[in-house]
Structure 1
Amino acid sequence: MQTTLTSPSSPAHGTPAADVARAASSTTLPHYQIIRRNGAVVPFEPNKIAVAMMKAFLAVHGPQGAASASVRETVEQLTQAVVRALMRSRPGGGTFHIEDVQDQVELGLMRGGHHEVARAYVLYRERRAQERAARAAQEQAQPAQPVLHVVDGGERRPLDLERLQALIHSAVEGLGPDVKAEPIVAETLRNLYDGVPMEEVHKAAILAARTKIETDPDYTYATARLLLHTIYKEVLGEEVTHAQMHTRYAEYFPAFIKKGVEAELLNPELLTFDLAQLAAALKPERDLQFDYLGLQTLYDRYFLHVRKRRIELPQAFFMRVAMGLALNEIDREARAIEFYEVLSSFDFMSSTPTLFNSGTLRSQLSSCYLTTVPDDLEGIYDAIKENALLSKFAGGLGNDWTRVRALGSHIKGTNGESQGVVPFLKVVNDTAVAVNQGGKRKGAVCCYLETWHLDIEEFLELRKNTGDDRRRTHDMNTANWIPDLFMKRVMEDGMWTLFSPSSVPDLHDKFGRDFEEAYVAYEEKAARGEIQPCKQVRAVDLWRKMLTMLFETGHPWITFKDPCNIRSPQQHVGVVHSSNLCTEITLNTSDTETAVCNLGSVNLVQHLKDGPNGKELDHDKLKRTIATAMRMLDNVIDINYYAVKKARDANLRHRPVGLGIMGFQDALYELRIPYASEAAVEFADRSMEAVCYYAYWASSDLAVERGRYSSYKGSLWDRGILPPDSIDLLAQERGGYVEVDRSRTLDWDALRAKIARDGMRNSNCIAIAPTATISNIIGVDASIEPCFGNLSVKSNLSGEFTVINHYLVKDLKRLGLWDEVMIMDLKHFDGSLWPIDRVPLELKELYRTAFEIEPRWLVEAAARRQKWIDQAQSLNIYMAGASGKKLDETYKLAWIRGLKTTYYLRTTGATHAEKATVRSGALNAVPTAGGTAGLGAVAAAEPATDIKFCAIDDPGCEACQ
C-alpha cells in the first residue's frame, strides 16, 4: 500500500482517486504548509490526502471494489473531514508535520468504521517507520544535521536551543513527574524548519505541548504556561519570565489603564482610581491557574487589543472588570480589590457580557432581555426593532408572541383575515441573522407561544427541514409556554381547544385557577359556536406532537407557564409571559417593561472543605463569596448601558439579578458521589439551599445599606412567602400533581424575619444559566451539567481542545491503570469506562457520562434545586435510546416535580447509549424530520465533538454566559 503523498502528475491521475483528489484540491489554502520528514517545507495539498486514501482502499478491496461510486464518495467525505480537522487545529494557518496528516487519516478511517483499511494503514506506517529507523541507524556515523536558523525581528540567527529548552522546562515545573519537558522539546523541533519565524517557534512549542494533553491532563497547564509566555511578550514587548511578573505587573498596570483610555477602549473614570494601590493587589501567581482552553479563550475573545495587538494581561483583565463594577462605590479601591479577589481566584465569575464590557466606554453588562409582543402591526414592528437594538449591543432575547392573532382571524381595520404568527416569526429569524451583535456572533432569540394558541401546530414545525421554507425559521429558537390545565388534560386524556388570542384576549395575562376558569368558560362558548375561529384536539395528540418535534428538531423546548407565575415573587405587579433564550429567567414583561437579567455564577467546587468524613460544603466561604457576588450583580443594574428605555425602567424598578452555580459535577467528583444517585440528588438539594439562603440574606443586607427595590410592597417577599414556601401556592392552584421534597436544613424562619424587617434589594436573586464559556475559562464542568465525556474534544471559536477528566486520571494512576492502552480504550469507546473490564465498578459509577445517566436523575436533582430558586434553571435532558414512552415519562415527571422550565433535549440511539465523544459529527444533534419514523422511533445520532450548551449554533455562544 502506498501512503506517501503523491504529486498531481503521478499515475493516479485518470483514476477514481484522482477524481476525489481534484474535488478536494479546491480547499487548498496557500498559508498552510507541510513539513516532510527530511525537514523540507512544501505547500499543503489536500488532493494528496485523497490519493493516499484511495490507495489505502485499493490495497484492501482491490481495484474493482475501490472503483465503486460509494467508495469514491466515502473517500471524498473522509478527505474533507481530515482537512477540516487539520485546519481547525491551526485556525490561523501554519505548518503540519507529515506525521500529523497521517495521524488524522488513520483517525478518520477508524471513526468512519473502516477498520480493515485502518488496520492495513497502521501496519504499513509501522513497517515504514521501522525501515526509516534502520536507515537512521546506518546513518548515525554521518555528520550532524546543519544548525536551524530562526528569523527574529527581521534578523536571521541560529536557534538558541538552550533558551528554548529552558522555556519548556519552566513550563512543566511543579506539574509532577508525569509531565516532562523532553517530549515537548522533541515534538517542537520536529515541527521547525530552517528560517522559521521566532513567533512560529513559540507557537510550535504550544502545539507540541497541546498534543500531549491526552497522555496526561496536567500537560494542559504546561501548554497554558507556554501560551502565557507569548502573551507576556505580545503585551510587554519583550520576553519575560513568570518570576519577573511580580515586579512587572506593578509597573505595567497603570500604563495599561492609560493606554486603554487613550485608545478610547476604557472609561476615563478608571484613571481616578489609585492605580498603584490596585496594581499592588494583583496576584501574578494566579496566572498559573489557567488550563489551556481557559487561557486561549480569554486571549482570543476577551483581552482588549489595539489594532489586533493585545494590551491586557490576565490579572489586569480581572482588575479592569472589578474596577468597572466598583465605579459607584464609596471606597472604590477596597471594593475593586474585593471584586478582583473573587474573580481571579475563580470563586465566582461574572457573565460574558460583563467580562467583555465592564470598565469600557459602553458598559453593556446584562445577559438577557425578555419582551412581549402586542397584537397590532405597529407594535409588532416596534418589537422587532427592539430585538434588533438589543441584539446589537446585548445578549440573548426571549420574545412572547402569544398575543398575536392566529391564522384566519378577522382583522377589523381591513376586514380581512390574519396570516397568523408564523410570517412575523420569519422576520424575527432574519433580523437575528442580520443584526449579528456587532459582527461578533449572530443574534440569538427564542420565541414563546402558549399551548392554546390556534397557530400552535404550525409553530411546532418551525424548525423542520421539510415543508414551505417561507414558513420555517432555521436560525432562531422556539419554546412551548404550557399552562397546567393542558398538562392535566394530557394526564386525564381530555380534549383541548385552540383559540385565536384576538377572541380570548384575557387568557394571556391569567394563570392558575383564574386561567382555568376563564378557559373553560371560553370552551363552553366555542361549543355553542360563539367563538370563531377555534379548533378542538385531543390533548394527548398535541402533547405527542410536541415531543415528536422536540425529538426531531430540538424545538420547541418544554416550559411551564403556571409554576413560573404562581411562584414568582413579583406576581403582584405583572405576569411572566415567557422565559429567556436559555430558559432560566422568569421575569414580568409588559408593553411598558422589557425584563433584564444580570448573571454570574459561583464555582461550587471552590466551596468545599475537608471535614471529619471527607469533603463537605464550606458554608462560611460560600456566604462570603455570595455576599460579594450579589453586590457585584446589584452594581451592574446601575452601571449598565441600556439600548432600550423600557429595559432601563424595568431593571431599575425591580432590580432582578441571576446568581447561578457551575462546577456541580466537579464537586460531586470531589465528594466521591456518582451523579446517578440519591446522594447526588441530596447534594443538589443542600448546596442549592445554601446558595439561595445566603443570596437572599445578602440581598436583604443590601436593602439595609441601599434601600429596597421600588416594587417591593405587595411582593411574596413582603408577604413573608419565601421561594420554598411558594410550593404550597403551586399545589393549591394545581389541585394536585405536585410531588416535591420539602426537606430543609437551614433556619428559614430567621431569614423570613430578617426580610420582614429589612426588605429586599432585588426582586429576584437566583437563576442557573448554562455558563458555557465562563466555565471553560475557569476549567470546570458547565453549570449543573453531568460530564459530557471523560476524553472529549471541545470546540469553540478558538479551535478544538482535547479535554480529559483529570479526576478520573488521578484515580486511574492511583490504581496503576493509566497507560497508553487505557488512552486508546477511552478513544475507542468514546470516553466511556463501561466496556473496559479492568476498571473497577466504583469508578465506572462515579465517572458515568451524560448519556450513561438515566434522565430521571437529572430531573430529580433539578427538582430539589427548583424549590429554593426564585427564577429557574437551564436544564438539558440527556437521553440515550430515546423513545416516545421515555420522553413522555421524563417530561411529565418534570412537570409533577414542579420544574418551571427545561432546555435542550439531547438524544442518541440505543447503540450509542454508552458513548461520550471523541468523534466528529453531532452526538448532541437531534435527527432531522426525515431521519425518524415518529416519536416512538429510536434515532442513532452521530457523535459530536462540539459540546454546545447554549442556544446559538455558534460554539462560541455567550448569550447567557
Structure 2
Amino acid sequence: MSDLLEQELLVRSFHPEHFSDSSKSLSGENTYQVIRRNGSVTDFNPAKIKTALTKAFLAAEGETASGSHRVHDIIDDMTQQVSSVLLRRAAPGHTLQIEDIQDQVELALMRSEHHKVARAYVLYREDRARERAKVEGRKKKKKGNQPNLNVKNADGTLAPLDFDRLATVIDEACANLEGVSADPVFEETKRNLYDGVSVAELALAPIMAARTFVEREPNYAFVSARLLLDKLRYEALSFLSDRPDQATQSEMQDRYATYFPAALKAGIDAGLIDPELARFDLKKISAAIKPDRDLNFQYLGLQTLYDRYFLHIKGTRFELPQAFFMRVAMGLAIREVNREDKAIEFYDQLSSFVFMASTPTLFNSGTCRPQLSSCFLTTVPDDLEGIFKSIRDNALLAKYSGGLGNDWTPVRGLGAHIKGTNGESQGVVPFLKVANDTAIAVNQGGKRKGAVCAYLETWHIDIEEFLDLRKNTGDDRRRTHDMNTANWVPDLFMERVVNDGSWTLFSPDDTPDLHDLYGNAFKAAYEAYEDKTVAGQITNFKTIRAVDLWRRMLTMLFETGHPWITFKDPCNIRSPQQHRGVVHSSNLCTEITLNTSHDEVAVCNLGSVNLAAHVTEKGIDHAKLAKTVKTAMRMLDNVVDINFYTIPEARYSNLRHRPVGLGLMGFQDALQTMKIAYASQAAIEFADESMEAIAYHAIAASVDLAAERGRYESFEGSLWSRGILPIDSLDLLAKTRSEFNVDRSTRLDWETLRERVKTVGMRNSNTMAIAPTATISNICGVSQSIEPAYRNLFVKSNMSGDFTVVNAALVRDLKARDIWDEVMISDLKYYDGSVGQIDRIPDDLKELYATAFELDSSWLIEAAARRQKWLDQAQSLNLYIANPSGKKLDDLYRLAWQRGLKTTYYLRSSAATHVEKSTLKGTDGKLNAVSTSPSAIIPQSPKPAPASTASSAPTAAPATVAASSPSPIPGQATDAISPGQAWGKACLLDDPECEACQ
C-alpha cells in the first residue's frame, strides 16, 4: 500500500462518479462537518469514503479490481452503509472526527468478511500514524504551547481550559503502569477538544482517548478507569460542596478522611443511608480508608459501579469507590459488638477484591432498606388465591434485587377437573404468562431487570407445553419470552431414557405426593400411579416414550436456550436439610438447592471468593484463603439478621435455617497464573483441590460461628448433626444408582472437622453455592465464576454499554515471546479472539488460552463433578458446544447426570453467541456500533474448532452413548447440524439482560 497516492489517477478512471458531492442526498442539507487532525473543519463528503474503500481494494486485489462490477457494487453499498451509520450517530452540532470515519470503514470491511482488504487498510493506517508521529516529534512543541481554548461551565460562563491540570491527571492515570504512555492519551484528548467545550465533554474526552488503546495494551483499561475517577471526583466533590470542586488522585489521599463523613451525611439527609451509620466512630472509620485502592479498577469494573451501584441524588453520584465499599462494610457490621473493627475488616476484603459480596448486598447494604439476599425460592400452591399471592410475592421480592426461582409443579394440569366451577383447568401455562409479565414490570429500581425462573417436574402433564414457552412461534398468549425455565428431572426418568422405557405424565391433583418424594420412594409411588392408569382409576394422563421426551427437551434447550436441565434426586438425597423438607427447585441461576413449602420461602445470601487473588505460580496460598473465607462467612451470616424481608415466609425460613452460599470466581485466571490448561487433568485436579479448601474453611468458619453465636435452629436431625458432610453424602446418592463413579479422594483433615461439626454444630444449614458472578467479577477484573474464557479479545455487553475486553495474561505471554504486534491483533479479531488457528502462536499457549468453544464440554463436567462432591448446594454450570449435534447434546447431559451433578445452566452455541467483527477502537461504551444483542445474531454455521489437544475430551469421561443414539433435533443426522440451521435465541454470553444472581 506504499504507492497508494500514485494510484489516484487509476482510482479516478475506475469510478469517476465517486467524487461527486453526494452528501446532500444522504443527509438532506449538508450540515455535517468533519474535524480534521489539525483542528480545521471541512464538510462531510461520502465521496472520500468511496475513495478510501477503492484504494483499499486496489491495494489488496490489484488492478483486477478496477474492472469488477462486483467490487463497484460492494464499494457503493459500503459507502452508503458507513455514511448512514456516521450521520445517524453524529455528535451534537453535527461534527465527526476523521478517526471515527476511518474506524467505520475498517468495521464495514471486517463485517463484510473482506479480511484481506481490511488488513491492508489497517496496515496503511498504522503506517500513516507512524509518519504523523515522526512529524509531530520533529515539531518539538513545548508542553505549555497549547491552543487557546475555553471551557463552558454549567452556568454558561467561559473559563480558560487548564491544560496543565489535564496533563497532570493523565500523567497520574498512567503512572506505574507497564506499557502505557501519557503522551498519546494527551494528544488524542486534545484532538477531541474545541473552543467552548463543556465541562462534561472535557471530563469524557481523556477517558475516550485512553480507551482507544486498550486493544493494543490492556493496561490502558486501568488508565481509562483512573480518568473516569477524575470525572467521578469532580461530580461527587462538587455536589457535596455546592460549587465546582476538583481533586487529583494524590490530593484525595488527604481529602478522603473529610469527604467520607460528608458523603455519609448527604446520603442520610436524602433518606438513602441508614442514620445508624452516623453513630459509628467516623474518625476511626475514615482513617482506615485506603485511597490508593481506587487505582485497582479496570474501566469495565468502575463504569459498572458508576452506572449502577454508587448512590446518587437525582442522577448525581456522591459516592467514591472507597466510600462505597466502606458503606457496604459498615452496613454488614451494623450489629457487631465491635462494629468499627469488623467494618474495617470487611472493608479490607471488599476493597482489595479478595472477596466480593453479591449485587443485592452491594446495592443495599447500609441503606434504609437493606435487602441483601440474592435468591428466593418459592413453591406455588394449587389454588387461585395461592397462585396470585405467589405472583405478588415475586413482585415484592424482585423489587429490591432478588432473583427468583418458582416451583410450579403443584399446580394442576390442562384438563384437570375444577371442583368449585365444575370446569376444566387451563393448566399452568396461563399463570406462567402472568408471572413473566410481572417480572418485566418490576425492574428492580432500574438497576437490572426483574428475573425469575419457573421449574416444572418432568412427570407433569403440562411438561410438553412448558418446553415450548420460549419459542418464537405459536400462540403468544402461551409464551413467556422473558422468563427463564428449567426442567426438574427425577432419576427415574433418566433411567427410563437409558433403558428406552415409557414415561407417564400426570396432573398433580391426581398424584399429589409425587411432588414431595424422591429416590426409591418416588419410584414406588410413581409406578403405583402407572398401575392406576391401567386399572382406569386415573384418566387424565398421557404415556409417551421417555427418549422422545428427552429428545424434545434437548431440542428446545438447543433452539431456545430453555428449559435448563436440573436433577431432583441428587439435590434432595445430598441435602443436609432433608429432615425438614424437600428441595422442589433451584433458583434463578441453578446454584441454590434449599427446601420450600407453602410456609417457607427459601432465601440465600451469596458472595464469592476471588480465587485468582489466592494463587501464585506455585499453587494455592492456603493461609490467605483460610483468612478470606473466615471473614466472608461472617459477612454472609450477618446478612441473615440484618436483612430487610419483604414477605414473612422469607424471614421465617431464613432465621430458622440461616443458609448462605459462598462461591468462587476467577477460576480461569487462577489456572492461567499456574500455567494449567483448562482442558487437562491438572485442571480437574485443581478444581478438586481448590473447592476442597474452600469447603473445609467454610464449614470450619460456620462451626466457629456456631460456637460464638449458637447453632442454627433446625440443626438437630440434619446430615451435619449425624456427622455426614457433603463428601460423605456421595455415598447416599450412590445407594440409589446402579452406576455412580465419582472420585472420593481428600487432602485435608476432615475427620477432626467432622467431629467438631457433630459436637459444636453449624451456624448455617448450607454454606456453599457457586453463582455466575456475572457482574461482580467485572468489578474485580477477573474471569466469571468457574467459566472458561469466552474469547481472548471481544466486545462485552452489559447494562453499562459495550466494552473492549482483552486477555491481559495472553498479551503478557505473547509479549514475552515477542509476537504481540498489530498483525497479531488483526489475527485475533479475524478468529474471534481464538488463538487455536493462529500459526505464530506456540502450541503451549494455544492450549493455555483455548477459549470456551475450543474445549470439549466434557472437561467442564468432569471439573464440575469434582467441585460438586464438596458442595452442599450446587453450581451454575454453563456448557459450550461449537458444533452442536443431537448425539453431542445427548452424551453431554447424560454425562452430567451420571457424574452426579445437581444442576446445569445455559447451553451456549458458538453461532448464538457470535460477536461481530469489529475494529474495537473507539467502540467501547454506549456509543458502540457493535452489538451482541439477539437482534444482531445472524444464523450461520460455526467455524470448526481448531485442531488442538485442548478440544479433545478428557480420558476420564468416556462416551457413554452409542453412536446410534437418536438425535434430539428431529429430521437431522446425529453427527451434524445443517449449515442453515437457525440457532434460536439461546442465551448470549454476557447478555446485558441476564445479570443473574450477582
Could you tell me the TM-score, scaled by structure 2's length? 0.86
- Which residue in the other structure is 1:194 paired with? 195
- Which residue in the other structure is 2:583 paired with? 576
CA 1:52 to 1:455, structure 2 compared with 1: closer, same or farther past 3 Å? farther
- Which residue in the other structure is 2:171 paired with? 169
1:782 CA displacement: 0.6
CA distance in 2, matches of 1:256, 1:570: 44
CA distance in 1, matches of 2:115, 2:265: 60
1:241 CA displacement: 2.2
- Which residue in the other structure is 1:210 paired with? 211
CA 1:312 to 1:33, structure 2 compared with 1: closer, same or farther past 3 Å? farther
Count of residue correspondences? 932
CA distance in 1, matches of 2:912, 2:798: 28
CA contact (8 A) 1:294 1:779 kept: yes
- Percent identity reads 62
1:800 CA displacement: 1.6
CA 1:95 to 1:804, structure 2 compared with 1: closer, same or farther past 3 Å? farther
Unaligned runs of 5+ in 2: 1-10, 59-64, 239-244, 921-929, 943-968
CA contact (8 A) 1:246 1:284 kept: yes
1:149 CA displacement: 3.2
1:436 CA displacement: 1.9
Would you say 1:848 and 2:850 are equivalent positions?
A: yes
- Which residue in the other structure is 1:107 paired with? 107
1:408 to 411, 415, 419: 415
Q: Deviations over 1:282-322 (max 9, x none)?
A: 11111111111111111121111222222111111111000
CA contact (8 A) 1:795 1:946 kept: no
- Which residue in the other structure is 1:35 paired with? 35
CA distance in 1, matches of 2:48, 2:877: 42
1:227 CA displacement: 1.4
1:696 to 696, 699, 705: 699
CA contact (8 A) 2:565 2:903 kept: yes
CA distance in 2, matches of 1:76, 1:455: 51
1:798 CA displacement: 2.0
- Which residue in the other structure is 2:406 paired with? 399
Would you say 1:960 and 2:997 are equivalent positions?
A: yes
Would you say 1:334 and 2:336 are equivalent positions?
A: no
Would you say 1:661 and 2:664 are equivalent positions?
A: yes
2:592 to 574, 585, 596: 585
Helix, strand or coil at the partner of 1:498: strand
CA contact (8 A) 2:916 2:932 kept: no
- Which residue in the other structure is 1:814 paired with? 816
One-letter amino acid of the counterpart of residue 227, structure 1? L
- Which residue in the other structure is 2:384 paired with? 377
Query: Equivalences for 1:664-813 in 2 at 5 Å?
Result: 664-734=667-737, 736-813=738-815
CA 1:462 to 1:67, structure 2 compared with 1: closer, same or farther past 3 Å? farther
- Which residue in the other structure is 2:622 paired with? 619
- Which residue in the other structure is 2:565 paired with? 558
CA distance in 1, matches of 2:212, 2:792: 17
Would you say 1:233 and 2:234 are equivalent positions?
A: yes
Helix, strand or coil at the partner of 1:647: helix
Would you say 1:641 and 2:679 are equivalent positions?
A: no
CA contact (8 A) 1:910 1:938 kept: no
- Which residue in the other structure is 1:514 paired with? 521
| Bigger mean CA offset, 114-123 vs 776-785 | 114-123
- Which residue in the other structure is 1:878 paired with? 880
CA contact (8 A) 1:402 1:453 kept: yes
1:410 CA displacement: 1.5
Query: Equivalences for 1:588-607 in 2 at 5 Å?
Result: 588-607=595-614
One-letter amino acid of the counterpart of residue 637, structure 1? V
Helix, strand or coil at the partner of 1:346: coil
Unaligned runs of 5+ in 1: none
CA contact (8 A) 2:559 2:986 kept: no
CA distance in 2, matches of 1:928, 1:367: 35
Helix, strand or coil at the partner of 1:364: coil
CA contact (8 A) 1:906 1:924 kept: no
CA distance in 2, matches of 1:811, 1:929: 33
CA distance in 1, matches of 2:879, 2:273: 41
CA 1:387 to 1:51, structure 2 compared with 1: closer, same or farther past 3 Å? farther
CA distance in 1, matches of 2:262, 2:22: 63
CA contact (8 A) 2:510 2:538 kept: yes
CA distance in 2, matches of 1:520, 1:904: 32
CA distance in 2, matches of 1:944, 1:208: 38
CA distance in 1, matches of 2:934, 2:66: 30
- Which residue in the other structure is 1:243 paired with? 250
1:35 CA displacement: 3.2
Query: Equivalences for 1:474-553 in 2 at 5 Å?
Result: 474-553=481-560
CA 1:285 to 1:11, structure 2 compared with 1: closer, same or farther past 3 Å? closer
CA distance in 2, matches of 1:465, 1:602: 39
1:954 CA displacement: 3.3
One-letter amino acid of the counterpart of residue 702, structure 1? L
CA distance in 2, matches of 1:330, 1:226: 39
- Which residue in the other structure is 2:957 paired with? none
Q: Deviations over 1:867-903 (max 9, x none)?
A: 0000000000011101111111111110000000000
CA 1:404 to 1:53, structure 2 compared with 1: closer, same or farther past 3 Å? farther
Q: Deviations over 1:749-790 (max 9, x none)?
A: 111100111111111110000101110001000100011111
CA distance in 2, matches of 1:437, 1:724: 38
CA distance in 1, matches of 2:133, 2:682: 55
Helix, strand or coil at the partner of 1:723: coil
CA contact (8 A) 2:458 2:493 kept: yes
One-letter amino acid of the counterpart of residue 653, structure 1? R
CA distance in 1, matches of 2:96, 2:104: 11
| Bigger mean CA offset, 909-918 vs 415-424 | 909-918
CA 1:138 to 1:788, structure 2 compared with 1: closer, same or farther past 3 Å? closer
- Which residue in the other structure is 2:375 paired with? 368
CA 1:335 to 1:149, structure 2 compared with 1: closer, same or farther past 3 Å? same
1:469 CA displacement: 1.3
CA distance in 2, matches of 1:924, 1:675: 32
CA distance in 2, matches of 1:52, 1:580: 56
Would you say 1:253 and 2:283 are equivalent positions?
A: no
Q: Deviations over 1:249-304 (max 9, x none)?
A: 11111222112111111100001100000001111111111111111111121111
CA distance in 2, matches of 1:287, 1:181: 19
Query: Equivalences for 1:303-342 in 2 at 5 Å?
Result: 303-342=310-349
CA distance in 1, matches of 2:94, 2:716: 62
CA contact (8 A) 2:558 2:986 kept: no
1:465 CA displacement: 1.0
CA distance in 1, matches of 2:108, 2:731: 56
Q: Deviations over 1:778-829 (max 9, x none)?
A: 1000100011111111122222211111111111111111122211111122
One-letter amino acid of the counterpart of residue 630, structure 1? M
Could you tell me the TM-score, scaled by structure 1's length? 0.89
CA contact (8 A) 1:793 1:945 kept: no
1:412 CA displacement: 1.7
Helix, strand or coil at the partner of 2:543: strand
| Bigger mean CA offset, 166-175 vs 120-129 | 120-129
CA 1:159 to 1:946, structure 2 compared with 1: closer, same or farther past 3 Å? farther
Q: Deviations over 1:707-753 (max 9, x none)?
A: 1111111111111111111111111123x232211111111111110
- Which residue in the other structure is 2:3 paired with? none
CA contact (8 A) 2:50 2:75 kept: no
CA contact (8 A) 1:791 1:830 kept: yes
Q: Deviations over 1:580-619 (max 9, x none)?
A: 010000111100111111110000011124xxxx421111
| Bigger mean CA offset, 915-924 vs 762-771 | 915-924
One-letter amino acid of the counterpart of residue 633, structure 2? M
2:977 to 938, 943, 956: 938
1:150 CA displacement: 3.0
One-letter amino acid of the counterpart of residue 592, structure 2? I
